[in-house]
Every structure is written in C-alpha cells, then in structure tokens.
A and B are shown apart, each in its own frame.
Chain A
C-alpha cells in the first residue's frame, strides 16, 4: 500500500492559517491502514488545530470529512459541496488524493496534510518499510523475491557493495543489507547461480526516469457510446 505520514502540525497550521473555513478530508484506504489519514486521524488533527487556535485566539472553522478512496473522482464527488463550500481543503489522503481534488476543482485551493512516502508493507504494528519504487519492470524473480531497487540504498544490480557489514547496510546499520538478504534467500532456494553472472545495465525508461507514466487497459475503457450513456444517467 501507499504509506504516508502526517506533516508536522505546525507546518499544517501555517499552511491553513490564512483561511477561514477549512475542509479536512481523509481517506479510508491506504492512509487509514497506515494510521496517517483515516477518519480518526482527521478528527484528531482537527481537534489539535482547534486547541492551537484556542490558545492563539484564532478563529477558524473546520469540517472533518473522510471518503472511501480519495484518488477516485466518484468518491470525491460525494463531498463536493463541502469542498467547494470551504476556503481551502486540506487533504489527509496521500498526494494522489490531494491531486485528485486539485484536478477536479482547479480554482479551489487544496493542500497536502501528509507526506507521501513509500510503497511499503507493515513489518509489525506501527512499522512500515519500503519494498518497491515502481521501476516499471520488475526483476524480483531473479533476486529471490527481494527488490534491490528499493531495498538497496544504491539500487545495485550486482550487490552487495563493500559496505555490507554483519548483513546490515552501510547507510543505516539498523537496516538489513538487501543484497545479503538476496544472497541468503537464493542460497536456501538453491538458486545462487542467479547472482554468479553479471546483471547488465537496467533499462530505466519504464521508471519515472522515462517521464510521467500512464497505464492503459484498452479493454476496460468505455466506448464513446458507453460514455454517452453514463453521462446521460448522471
């Protein structure tokens, strides 16, 4: 899932300070699961901002809302009145949610309340770690199911580098060295031959390096006819 964390409260407060009516919108998907921008976090944020305003004598109105999936227009539509009825929207979804609202209502100002970080998994309660950077051309079938692009600090294709000590990464001694882990995994799978030969240069054009990406499923797209029908219903 997409893992994010709340921006520092003073940064958020500063962003929204010039506005009178603030709509704060969370999301029930990834960011709720990673405890950053679900219903509860939205409510706590609003409460904390109110406490701050109380202390500083600032008058602001907050509306706490949450939608099912903020990156999809259909769900945002449900709170359109609230968005447009406010002076500013603070999105407590990942930046995809914030940008969806922003793109839907271009003249309305929408700010991010979260710092969107990683494609990650919960390792244990309260701990999330990065396992993919969306390079667009997955190679983990050759690396024992462990992604070196995201999990090695240098995205090496032929690791581990000379800094791997006690199977930890030189960059952060609390983090496992991805390549030591790959070695160990391939060893137990009897597939060490995979890292005996040189892995050549990677084609990064499928990653963000190739520019903004759009994925299309032609078969899922609506035909012009279907589109017309859908519009008629709406």
Chain B
C-alpha cells in the first residue's frame, strides 16, 4: 500500500454540493487521499457513463453529491442523480464489483460538517476496498 493514495472522485452540483465543499474547505480539513471533485451544473447531469469512466480510469470510489431532494435547485435533479447512481450500482454488482464504491449523497450548501464526513467515509471505503483489481494499477 505504501505510496499509493486512495483515489476518490466526487461529482458535486454547483448549487449545494460544491458550496458545501467550499465551506468545509475553509475549515482546513485535510485527507490522506487524492480527492478530485468535478463540478457539474446539477447532479441530474451526472450520467452513468461519467461514473463508470471514473472507475475505469482508476478511481477507487465515486460519490455524487447533490442538493437535498426536497430542495433541489433544479427541482428533481438530485433525484435523477440518485437513479443514475442506483443503475450503475446494479451494473457493478452484475460484474462482481463492490457496489458500495459508488454512492449518492445529498446536502444543503450551508452544511459545513457533512462534506468532510462524506469524503472521510468514501476515503475509508477506498482504503478498505483498495483499487479495483488490486495493487498493480
């Protein structure tokens, strides 16, 4: 394991998700991992293909962070996002890959404590599961 940092990709919507991230970044929390955030206009824009591509290209875990379902800027965007995540999970279990590697979260922009929690959770999971297919990647 030495040297390799867990790789986590997060798709965050520019409304609540990204705001929450920025807010928590100000708090100065650091992770022993490579966490890459991708800003999307809305989690409803996150396609199953994006998530799979991230995994294919080396991410250990992927999360999608959108608005609260009752308070989505685009009304049902984060509900759509969740459906895509569920579909990819289904595909992952069909090919025998841990479906926990992909997760959907919802947060309000003002919620500073939740974002570090999500990232910690996904980093811990990435550490536990390791890269898909083992170390040689």
Contact = CB atoms under 8 A, between A and B. Distances in A.
A contacts B directly (C-beta below 8 A): yes
Interface of A: 8-10, 13, 40, 43-44, 47-57
Interface residues of B, number: 18
Interface stretch (B11-19, B27-35, B94-102): B94-102
Interface in B50-91: 52-53, 55-56, 91
B96 A44 contact: no
Interface of B: 47-49, 52-53, 55-56, 91-92, 94-97, 132-134, 136-137
Contacts of B137: 54
A174 to B, nearest CB: 21
Main secondary structure of the interface of A (DSSP, over half): helix
A54 B56 contact: yes
A48 B49 contact: no
A54 B132 contact: yes
Contacts of A48: 52, 91-92, 94-95
B133 to A, nearest CB: 4
Given A44-B91, A49-B95, A51-B92, 9 more contacts: A9-B91, A9-B95, A43-B49, A44-B48, A48-B94, A52-B96, A54-B137, A55-B132, A57-B134
Contact of A55 (B47, B52, B94, B97): B97
B94 A9 contact: yes
The winner among B52, B95, B133 for most chain A CB atoms within 10 A is B95
Given A40-B47, A57-B134, A51 B52 contact: yes
A52 B49 contact: no
